[in-house]
């Protein structure tokens, strides 16, 4: 698929997911009509976090981690969430950076933006702004953000180098990249990798850990760390892979432990002057 086709497939998938949540349903996450989100998107937020959020913001959660809990956000900081979906991480960030900080959410899907803005209204949080746009072309000036967060979105992009360059550009010198994303750990045969990626929901493909590091470094980032937060087992993906006609027992050794959600940290060096 070309980059533009991937983008339209992603937009259509998440537009449908947002409409389902707005109509009182649950989003289908992977495959056609499958409900296999739980091993990936279930139980990411604790009860205290969920209690301060509108139910629809929690239901629309389609991430694979909890970047706001790991990003060490401070009052007064400016946060940008790449691919903010129904707004869960933006609303949580806004509380952490209040009273003088602000949280931006960036998303390209109109239905998700509408859902996020409605969730903001219900939450009664004011230091939030949802922007329409693509993470490959962030509509903010250079050096304007303290922390870039994202939750399971960069793997959807067909141009990950550009996303990372854009994140670097908008961060202030010394600013933090604090992202949850799916990573592949070591070599996996291409066909199996594609099936598992479709199960996780990675439309354009997840990066290997070494590839992620190399791309972050090429974008200018330093202090790069990748910490697995949830490693998937063959049982997590069993139903989906079986429906795909894959002999699960045969591929188990190549899948077990090879796919993980990870927390990815990096910093724009304090001395960096260029966006």
Ligand X SMILES: C[S@@+](CC[C@H](N)C(=O)[O-])C[C@H]1O[C@@H](n2cnc3c(N)ncnc32)[C@H](O)[C@@H]1O
Per-residue x/- track, 17-56, ligand X (CB under 6 A): ----------------------------------------
**Residue among 182 and 251 whose Cβ is closer to ligand X:** 182
- What is the size of the binding site for ligand X (CB under 6 A)? 24
Q: Considering the complex, what minimum distance in angstroms separates the CB of residue 236 from ligand X? A: 17
Binder to ligand X among 153, 178, 206, 234 (CB under 6 A)? 153
Instruction: Give the whole-angstrom CA distance, residue 77 versus residue 75.
Output: 6
The residues, ordered by sequence, that sit 6+ positions from 232 with a Cβ below 8 Å of its Cβ are 39, 40, 196, 200, 255, 257, 259, 260, 261
Q: Which residue is listed with tokens 């401070």?
A: 74
**Residue among 112 and 251 whose Cβ is closer to ligand X:** 112
Is 225:264 a contact under the CB 8 Å cutoff?
Answer: yes
Instruction: Give the whole-angstrom CA distance, residue 44 versus residue 64.
Output: 7
Length of the chain, in residues: 275
Interior angle at CA 105, CA 102 and CA 110, nearest 5: 145
Instruction: Give the whole-angstrom CA distance, residue 210 versus residue 185.
Output: 9
Binder to ligand X among 71, 112, 147, 216 (CB under 6 A)? 112
The residues, ordered by sequence, that sit 6+ positions from 124 with a Cβ below 8 Å of its Cβ are none
Is 162:136 a contact under the CB 8 Å cutoff?
Answer: yes
Q: Considering the complex, what minimum distance in angstroms separates the CB of residue 85 from ligand X? A: 3
**Residue among 157 and 195 whose Cβ is closer to ligand X:** 157
Binder to ligand X among 56, 77, 107, 181 (CB under 6 A)? 107
Contact between 108 and ligand X (CB under 6 A)? yes
**Residue among 75 and 139 whose Cβ is closer to ligand X:** 139
Pairing of strands 259-267, 78-82: unpaired
| Distances 241 to 28, 30, 188 between C-alpha atoms, Å | 16, 11, 15
Contact between 10 and ligand X (CB under 6 A)? yes
Q: Considering the complex, what minimum distance in angstroms separates the CB of residue 109 from ligand X? A: 3
Residues 156-185 that bind ligand X (CB under 6 A): 156-157
Binder to ligand X among 68, 151, 195, 261 (CB under 6 A)? 151
Instruction: Give the whole-angstrom CA distance, residue 127 versus residue 95.
Output: 8
**Residue among 61 and 93 whose Cβ is closer to ligand X:** 61
Q: Helices in 132-206 by DSSP H: which ranges?
A: 160-170, 190-200
Is 85:14 a contact under the CB 8 Å cutoff?
Answer: yes
Binder to ligand X among 59, 68, 93, 109 (CB under 6 A)? 109
Binder to ligand X among 56, 134, 166, 197 (CB under 6 A)? 134
Q: Which residues bind ligand X (CB under 6 A)?
A: 7, 10, 14, 61-63, 83-86, 88-89, 107-109, 112, 134-136, 151-153, 156-157
């Amino acid at each position: 698929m070309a980059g533009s086709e991937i983008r339209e497939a992603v937009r259509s998938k998440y537009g449908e997911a947002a409409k389902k949540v707005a109509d009182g349903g649950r989003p289908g996450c992977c495959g056609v009509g499958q409900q296999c989100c739980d091993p990936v998107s279930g139980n990411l937020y604790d009860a205290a976090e969920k209690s301060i959020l509108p139910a629809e913001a929690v239901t629309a959660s389609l991430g694979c981690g909890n970047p706001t809990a790991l990003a060490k956000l401070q009052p007064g900081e400016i946060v940008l969430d790449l691919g903010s979906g129904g707004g869960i991480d933006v609303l949580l960030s806004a509380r952490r950076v209040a009273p003088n900080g602000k949280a931006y959410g960036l998303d390209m899907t109109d239905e998700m933006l509408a859902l996020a803005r409605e969730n903001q209204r219900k939450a009664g949080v004011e230091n939030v702004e949802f922007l329409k746009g693509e993470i490959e072309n962030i509509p903010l000036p250079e050096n304007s953000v303290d922390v870039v967060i994202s939750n399971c979105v960069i793997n959807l992009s067909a141009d990950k180098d550009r996303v990372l360059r854009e994140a670097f550009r908008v961060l202030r010198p010394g600013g933090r990249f604090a992202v949850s994303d799916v990573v592949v750990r070591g070599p996996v045969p291409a066909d199996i990798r594609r099936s598992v990626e479709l199960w996780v929901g990675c439309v354009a493909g997840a990066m290997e850990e070494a590839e992620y590091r190399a791309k972050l470094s090429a974008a200018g980032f330093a202090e790069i760390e990748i910490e697995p937060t949830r490693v998937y087992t063959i049982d997590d993906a069993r139903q989906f892979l079986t429906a795909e006609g894959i002999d699960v027992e045969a591929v188990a050794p190549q899948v077990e432990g090879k796919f993980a959600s990870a927390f990815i940290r990096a910093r724009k060096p304090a001395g960096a002057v260029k966006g």
